[in-house]
């Protein structure tokens, strides 16, 4: 039995939404030299499109976090695989996430960041799946609210595959 991706959000709609998110961030962070911190691996496509749509001085950094067991179910346990590289003390931080599902990963990242004394922290997430929330978290810049389906593509994976799909897709099982 295999998995067939079916387009949920087309690349053109993603591109429009990324431009709109970037416009809002750019207006809010003019003169603030923010650092955008992405949560790997899922953020890598979104992050690269987002930063290229931002025409303000900024820096980028990455956290390596992992929350899912193999397959489609979240383990609920978040592990830090590698920390961001540059100090964030006194910096305006925008956390960039591909998807907020249970909220466990984002809550972990926010707690971790708060111990490093940044000037401010906001969150930009491409996707929100509120029906799955276990930990309350707020998202300042949100792309799309999505239903409780397993979503792949545009950086998101199933067992590490499908991250390279240019559209956001749901997986349908072949008979």
Residues that bind ligand PRP (CB under 6 A): 39-42, 66-68, 74, 97-106, 157
Q: Which residue is nearest to ligand PRP (CB)?
A: 42
User: Least distance from C-beta 33 to ligand PRP, angstroms?
Assistant: 25
User: Least distance from C-beta 57 to ligand PRP, angstroms?
Assistant: 26
Catalytic residues: 101
Q: Between 56 and 110, name the residue whose CB sits nearer to ligand PRP.
A: 110
User: Least distance from C-beta 41 to ligand PRP, angstroms?
Assistant: 4
Q: Between 23 and 130, name the residue whose CB sits nearer to ligand PRP.
A: 130
Q: Between 25 and 99, name the residue whose CB sits nearer to ligand PRP.
A: 99
User: Least distance from C-beta 23 to ligand PRP, angstroms?
Assistant: 24
Q: Between 33 and 148, name the residue whose CB sits nearer to ligand PRP.
A: 148
Neighbours of 122 (CB within 10 A): 16
d(CA 53, CA 18): 8
């Amino acid at each position: 039995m295999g998995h067939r991706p079916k387009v949920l959000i087309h690349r053109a709609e993603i591109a429009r939404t990324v431009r709109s998110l970037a416009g809002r961030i750019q207006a809010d962070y003019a003169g603030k030299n923010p650092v955008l911190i992405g949560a790997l691996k899922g953020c890598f496509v979104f992050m690269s499109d987002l930063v290229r749509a931002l025409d303000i001085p900024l820096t980028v950094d990455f956290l390596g976090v992992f929350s899912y067991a193999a397959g489609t179910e979240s383990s609920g346990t978040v592990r830090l695989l590698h920390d961001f590289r540059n100090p964030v003390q006194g910096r305006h931080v925008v956390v960039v996430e591909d998807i907020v599902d249970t909220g466990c990963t984002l809550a972990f990242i926010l707690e971790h960041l708060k111990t490093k004394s940044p000037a401010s922290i906001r969150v930009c997430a491409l996707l929100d799946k509120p029906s799955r929330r276990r930990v309350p978290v707020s998202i300042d810049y949100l792309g799309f609210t999505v239903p409780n389906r397993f979503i792949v593509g545009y950086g998101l994976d199933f067992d590490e595959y499908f991250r390279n799909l240019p559209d956001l897709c749901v997986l349908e099982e072949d008979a």
